[in-house]
Structure 1
Amino acid sequence: MMPLILAAAGETNTIRKVSGNPEVKKHLEDLGFVVGGEVTVVSAIGGNLIVNVKESRIAISREMAGKIMV
C-alpha cells in the first residue's frame, strides 16, 4: 500500500483505505473515493493531483491525496 500522491500518472490503482477524521472520510467518499474503487492520476501540479474517479475528473490537494491509500 502507498498513498495516492506516490502513484504514477496514467496508471489505474484500486483504493485500499481512506483515512482521516470522520468528516474528511465522508467528504472523500462523497467525491467517489471508496474502498475497492478505481482511481487514475491524470497529472500532478505543484503537489496537487488531478484524478479520474468514477468517470469524473477531480482536483484534490496533496494533503487529501495522502489520506487515500492504493
Structure 2
Amino acid sequence: MSLMFTKPGEVNHIKRVMGDDRTRKYLMDMGFVEGAPITVLSRVSGNLIVEIMGTRVAIDRSMANRIIVGRGSL
C-alpha cells in the first residue's frame, strides 16, 4: 500500500520506491530505501511528516504515493 494510506504511529517497512530514476535517487538519498522502517508522525495539509532512520522528514503527497510500504520486513 502507498505510504499515504498508513495511520500515524504505525511502523511499516518500505517495500518499493517507485518513480523515474531521478525521483527514486532523491528519495533513496533521504533514506527511503527498501526494508527501512518508517513511521508516519503526522499529516499536515495532505503532506506527511515521517520518521525514517531516526530522522524526521516532511514529504508531499506525490512523493508519499511513490513509497510502497507493508507491515512486515522484507
TM-score (norm 1): 0.97
RMSD across aligned positions (CA) = 0.3
Per the TM alignment, residue 69 of structure 1 is displaced from its structure 2 partner at its CA by: 0.2
| 1:28 pairs with 2:22 | no
Identity fraction in percent: 45
Per the TM alignment, residue 65 of structure 1 is displaced from its structure 2 partner at its CA by: 0.2
Which residue of the partner structure matches residue 37 of structure 2? Answer: 38
> Partners of 1:26 and 1:14 in 2: how far apart?
18
Query: Which blocks of at least 5 consecutive residues in structure 2 are unaligned?
Result: 70-74
Residue correspondences, number: 69
Query: Which blocks of at least 5 consecutive residues in structure 1 are unaligned?
Result: none
Per the TM alignment, residue 66 of structure 1 is displaced from its structure 2 partner at its CA by: 0.2
